A and B are shown apart, each in its own frame.
Chain A
């Protein structure tokens, strides 16, 4: 699977951009004195969004991606979008959201979608099965992944 360009794009392009954008957003918060404007509530909303991105990320890394996992990723993406709207609605009541931060937000909102689309392209048959089309049956089990990407993640972790 490491020979697949989409896996390489996910690991060495999408993930680093997400990390850089997340760190840049934290710098923007710091520059606008978040502790005296929107406070810890906004930090908690961001941690919630981290969990919402972390669930599909860990699922892709450690579980066998099938229709169930893809459906979970789609639902969590929509929840993440709703949380992002809540975050900006709250932030703009008391804190200046600069054009730079808005630009950073655009990355943070779209990177999960890039990740989701990449996973869908890697498991196209299971994605089609979700909608009852294609040759594959819906697989709705949760099992540890045996793919190279999973082994890669595990070996890098160790």
Chain B
């Protein structure tokens, strides 16, 4: 259970807080360039 929390939960919580802090609490960055779905996928 500890390993699951360490490798699966904590990294994504850190990512969530990093995202919120970078965008003043907004879920979606306002300046991000939006494309159609799949346009940024590299093949």
Residues of A within 8 A of B (CB): 18-20, 22-23, 26, 29-30, 34-44, 46-47, 50, 54, 57, 89-99, 102, 153, 156-157
Contacts and interface: CB of A to CB of B under 8 A. Distances in A.
Given A23-B7, A39-B32, 5 more contacts: A18-B8, A26-B15, A30-B15, A39-B19, A92-B35
Contacts of A95: 40
Contacts of A54: 4
Contacts of B7: 19-20, 22-23
19 contacts: A23-B7, A30-B15, A34-B15, A35-B18, A36-B32, A38-B32, A40-B23, A40-B27, A41-B27, A43-B16, A44-B27, A47-B13, A47-B16, A50-B8, A50-B12, A93-B40, A94-B35, A96-B41, A99-B42
B3 to A, nearest CB: 6
For chain B, the bracket of interface size reads 20 to 34
B41 to A, nearest CB: 5
A46 B1 CA distance: 18
Looking at chain A's contact residues, the main secondary structure is helix
A96 B20 CA distance: 20
Nearest to B10: A26
Given A35-B18, A43-B15, A94-B35, A19 B23 contact: no
Contact of B35 (A23, A29, A93): A93
A23 to B, nearest CB: 5
